[in-house]
Structure 1
Amino acid sequence: MSLRSCSIIAAHFCIFFFFFFFLTFLPPVYPSPLNLTLSRQHANPKEVVRHFQRKLNSSLSRRELYSTRQEAQTSTCLTGNPTDDCWRCGSDWRTNRQRLADCGIGFGQSALGGKGGRIYVVTDSSDTDPANPKPGTLRYGVILDEPLWITFSADMTIRLKHELMMNSYKTIDGRGANIHITGNGCITIQYVSNIIIHNVHVHHCKPSGNTNIRSSPTHVGYRGRSDGDGISIFGASNIWIDHCSLSYCTDGLIDAIMGSTGITVSNNYFSHHDEVMLLGHDDKYLPDSTMQITIAFNLFGEALVQRMPRCRRGYIHVVNNDFTSWEMYAIGGSANPTINSQGNRYIAPTNPDAKEVTKRVDTDESQWANWNWRSEGDVMVNGAFFVPSGAGVSAQYSKASSVDPKSAALVDQLTMNAGVIGGPRDSGGGGGSYPGFSGGSSASATTYSGSNGSGGGNSDYFGFIFSSDAPPTAPLSTASIILLSSLIISVLLFTGTTNQGGQLSLQLLTL
């Protein structure tokens, strides 16, 4: 064999072993969880608002079209709510949970969650070791380096030992079971992307930390003391929180800070809390200027004080929510956020000094007069009034405080299923008091008593039938990639040794 042929073979073997080593230790390939919030800011937020309005009008028109038909009168869908009608009206939604990922609206509509990944079923409600979680637990599922659609085998209360650190491309889907997440730290979404949290109760969350917590299969890090938020979003993007019930947490129910963007908070029920929602880290933190958040179809219920939300910088679209009460104010802000309020109902408290919906926090009017705060089509009840601001404030906005409340029926319809689907609310009897927790609701009603265990097959819950889900086709495994690559390299070895002048080897080595 000539020296040139030996060199060709040696070069091919080097390439082969490089690919073998590289692919052996490489996990299945998924989109990178790297969070680059600056590049993910929508260039035209007004277009997102118009897109939202088009989807809403389409759902409302569809409901109107079928309102006289028998199937519409008995259907659990056709509410006019575009997110709900999207997944609940399909014939296959019970066996295709991942359809939900196509139903997002607003700035968080691109959140994929675990779409395309396998189904992971939580069968164990324990959380004994946050640094080394057990398979079958929620913590084990949310840290894995792959898209997962996480469901639950039965009703359960998950009492977290420390904050639950989520990895990218995960959906927590509580449909079909009564799921309560509580305890220390609760849910943290930090420096990740593409998260969907759907249909779970989050409550009684307390500060914790100063310990090691695992955030991925390969990383355990020391965490300082958490704030006790229900859901903390920190430097994250493409997040959708939908149909959750949140209450009784130490700090915020939902906080989004440190450059987080591309977020939708929809169809949730908030109650029994002081500082409900903080959007923006600090007045001087410029990366929060990229923040874009949609708050839609939520019911702000009993015993809320303020921050629904409280905004710093960014663009916040508050649309078709029902604010049933507050003690201080509903929407506040500082550092010149843009607030676009459309089609909400604001019901002021009896306190004559708390009728104003808006509050510019620690800012003189000479500073906030040019902030872009708009109210359009909002319904003001019991003396509520919205103080608009910004260049070009017109009569259209100044009249927002005197809109006839006859259109309130639309808000009723759009928020009728806010919170955990079918779950009780305080105003409807229950839901605000949980056994084993202090600070329950004054309403007399049945209280939740969650059970832990395993189950399977079909279950009937809240009038819906949920069937078992087969996992979708798995991505191409590392072993398969290695086998395929080996076959290709073998063919190249054979053809390369017969190639005169070593031209093929040269081409491969210069790729």
Structure 2
Amino acid sequence: MARSLDIILFVLCLAILTPTLNANKLENNEYWTEQRPEFDSYWQERAKVAKQENKAAYFKDPYAISGNFTASISEIIAVKEKGRNLGGLKDDGTCLATNPIDRCWRCDPNWANNRQKLADCVQGFGRNTRGGQGGPIYVVTDPSDDDMMNPKPGTLRYAVTRNGSLWITFARSMAITLQQELIMSGDKTIDGRGVDVYISNGAGITIQFVKNVIIHGIKIYDIQVRDGGMIRDSEAHYGFRTKSDGDGISIFGASNVWIDHVSMRNCTDGLIDAIMGSTAITISNSHFTDHNEVMLFGASNDYSEDKIMQITLAFNHFGKRLVQRMPRARFGFVHCVNNDYTHWEMYAIGGSQNPTIISEGNRFIGPYNKMLGNDLINSKEITKREYTEESEWKTWQWRSINDEYINGAFFVQSGPELKDRPFSQKDMIKAKPGSFVGRLTRYSGNLRCRVGEPC
């Protein structure tokens, strides 16, 4: 009888986590078999061009890039830590931006008249991303999404499929339910500052075989799988798409992508996935909650071209009701710097296929032990090398520098100690220690910016 109760309890736990406890579709060979017919001659040509652009965006010395980033953080004098606050102002109206990306733009009361300055503020591996900078501002006035092939002017789908650079803003607060995946063309910025923009209860955003995309200041949640069909991806082209995978943001064979100050939760698949040779990506100042498999970087053990992948995670808050993959990486180089890991159920950082993971100045708060039936669940280990024996992963470069561990959390390092490069060199000044993270991430997620005031 007791054993039966244990089984019932386990089934109930799985039910509570549905639908987010599904395996990531991108790791399923059947999914890729279904996708192959979708890559007609148009997409094959796009893939060739994107591959060359991704190689051009790749940094041959990734340690130097991560070092330059951490040097800029060390110059910031963070204010005293209080509770998380989205206002961004002291009582006297002065700006409280607490990290170098935010300090680049948030203290300017005229930010709304100089929106494109934001593109000068990105750091990390995505530091050359400019989005729609230099192009006209396009104002979204219509939250509808009714026509996939001939989107209505004024809609978000119309804006992201235009040719050339475009800086996309919103006339007012709005909730947008995407009927099918939103396939972006390159050289675009989605800028939600000053209003509340919700992408929810429909499909997510796809950044495929393009470069130069910024997504800033929006909320993305409850993203669902949609059936596919004929969908426009540029002014000159539309084509058939199979089912979307349910990602909040899918980065597919793309480069120079910056995701900043987004709030995300509860997507059918991943919150943010980057695969198929995507590189030069920064994900910063964002807030993630209520999800199982949070971020997947590299979908296949067989796709070695993901060795080009370079991603910076900085100043993000990995919050309540998260389970795993913050991120999970195959191949590539991931720099996790000054993020706040306050919740996970299984592990925080995982990977396979020998990715380089540099964890620097993060704060890790281990989960409390839990009983599942008669079993004690202890998930205080931050790291997980998946489907790999220690004899193999012990050579992988997974290093923890100045991280802070709370409530029993611990990081299992591997690979040779970083003595000569990168972190003892003059160009590799260390980031703020993990004890500063609460201050550096204080304003993570979507901001409440008001026109005429510092944000």
Q: TM-score range by the shorter chain?
A: 0.7 to 0.9
SS of residue in 2 equivalent to 1:411: helix
Instruction: Give the TM-score, by structure 2 length.
Output: 0.80
Which of 412, 417, 425 in structure 1 is aligned with 2:443?
Answer: 417
1:309 matched to which residue of 2?
327
1:387 matched to which residue of 2?
412
Query: Aligned partners of 1:329 and 1:238: how far apart in 2?
Result: 28
1:108 matched to which residue of 2?
126
- The structure where helix makes up a greater share of residues is 1
Alignment deviations for residues 317-354 of structure 1 (CA, whole Å, 9 cap, x no partner): 00000000100000000000000000000001112520
1:370 matched to which residue of 2?
395
Alignment deviations for residues 277-300 of structure 1 (CA, whole Å, 9 cap, x no partner): 000121110110000000000000
Give the conservation status (yes or no) of the 8 Å contact 1:185–1:209: no
Query: Aligned partners of 1:347 and 1:90: how far apart in 2?
Result: 34
1:152 matched to which residue of 2?
170
Query: Aligned partners of 1:34 and 1:336: how far apart in 2?
Result: 24
Which of 29, 35, 52 in structure 1 is aligned with 2:69?
Answer: 52
Aligned pairs for 1:352-367 (under 5 A) are 353-367=378-392
Query: Aligned partners of 2:402 and 2:351: how far apart in 1?
Result: 21
Give the conservation status (yes or no) of the 8 Å contact 2:110–2:451: no
SS of residue in 2 equivalent to 1:293: strand
Query: Aligned partners of 1:76 and 1:128: how far apart in 2?
Result: 43
Question: 1:53 offset after TM fit, Å?
Answer: 1.4
Question: 1:58 offset after TM fit, Å?
Answer: 2.6
Query: Aligned partners of 2:201 and 2:150: how far apart in 1?
Result: 18
> Closer, same or farther in 2 for the Cα pair 1:282/1:76, shift >3 Å?
farther
SS of residue in 2 equivalent to 1:222: strand
1:38 matched to which residue of 2?
55
Alignment deviations for residues 5-48 of structure 1 (CA, whole Å, 9 cap, x no partner): xxxxxxxxxxxxxxxxxxxxxxxxxxx98452123210111111
Letter in 2 for 1:262: A
Question: 1:183 offset after TM fit, Å?
Answer: 3.2
1:465 matched to which residue of 2?
451
Letter in 1 for 2:318: F
1:328 lines up with 2:353 in the alignment: no
> Closer, same or farther in 2 for the Cα pair 1:33/1:87, shift >3 Å?
farther
Question: 1:226 offset after TM fit, Å?
Answer: 1.2
Query: Aligned partners of 2:365 and 2:161: how far apart in 1?
Result: 41
Please say which structure displays the higher CA radius of gyration.
Answer: 1
Letter in 1 for 2:402: G
Query: Aligned partners of 1:74 and 1:34: how far apart in 2?
Result: 48
1:74 lines up with 2:97 in the alignment: no
Alignment deviations for residues 37-96 of structure 1 (CA, whole Å, 9 cap, x no partner): 1232101111111110122123338x79xxxxxx98735535331111100123532310
Which of 253, 256, 261 in structure 2 is aligned with 1:235?
Answer: 253
Alignment deviations for residues 136-188 of structure 1 (CA, whole Å, 9 cap, x no partner): 00000001111110000011000000000000000000001100012332100
SS of residue in 1 equivalent to 2:104: helix
Letter in 2 for 1:175: R
Letter in 2 for 1:226: S
Letter in 2 for 1:390: G
Question: 1:367 offset after TM fit, Å?
Answer: 0.8
1:266 matched to which residue of 2?
284
> Closer, same or farther in 2 for the Cα pair 1:248/1:410, shift >3 Å?
same
Aligned pairs for 1:167-186 (under 5 A) are 167-186=185-204
Give the conservation status (yes or no) of the 8 Å contact 1:59–1:78: no
- Which shifted more, 258-267 or 349-358? 349-358
Letter in 2 for 1:309: P
Query: Aligned partners of 1:271 and 1:154: how far apart in 2?
Result: 26
Which of 224, 228, 231 in structure 2 is aligned with 1:206?
Answer: 224
Identity of aligned residues (%): 52
Letter in 2 for 1:178: D
Question: 1:271 offset after TM fit, Å?
Answer: 0.2
Question: 1:466 offset after TM fit, Å?
Answer: 5.2
Question: 1:130 offset after TM fit, Å?
Answer: 1.1
Question: 1:381 offset after TM fit, Å?
Answer: 0.5
> Closer, same or farther in 2 for the Cα pair 1:76/1:289, shift >3 Å?
farther
> Of the two structures, which has the highest relative contact order with CA contacts closer than 8 Å and spacing of 6 or more?
2
1:246 matched to which residue of 2?
264
Alignment deviations for residues 231-275 of structure 1 (CA, whole Å, 9 cap, x no partner): 000000000000000001000000000000000000000000000
1:491 matched to which residue of 2?
none
Query: Aligned partners of 1:72 and 1:52: how far apart in 2?
Result: 27
Structure 1, unpaired ranges of 5+: 1-31, 65-70, 395-405, 423-461, 468-511
SS of residue in 2 equivalent to 1:180: strand
SS of residue in 2 equivalent to 1:129: coil
Q: How many residues align?
A: 378
1:284 matched to which residue of 2?
302
**Aligned-pair Cα RMSD in Å:** 2.1
SS of residue in 1 equivalent to 2:267: coil
1:349 matched to which residue of 2?
367
Give the conservation status (yes or no) of the 8 Å contact 1:59–1:85: no
Which of 133, 143, 146 in structure 2 is aligned with 1:125?
Answer: 143
Instruction: Give the TM-score, by structure 1 length.
Output: 0.71
1:444 matched to which residue of 2?
none
Letter in 2 for 1:126: S
Alignment deviations for residues 469-496 of structure 1 (CA, whole Å, 9 cap, x no partner): xxxxxxxxxxxxxxxxxxxxxxxxxxxx
> Closer, same or farther in 2 for the Cα pair 1:372/1:75, shift >3 Å?
farther
2:42 matched to which residue of 1?
none
> Closer, same or farther in 2 for the Cα pair 1:94/1:80, shift >3 Å?
same
Give the conservation status (yes or no) of the 8 Å contact 2:177–2:203: no
Query: Aligned partners of 2:447 and 2:269: how far apart in 1?
Result: 25
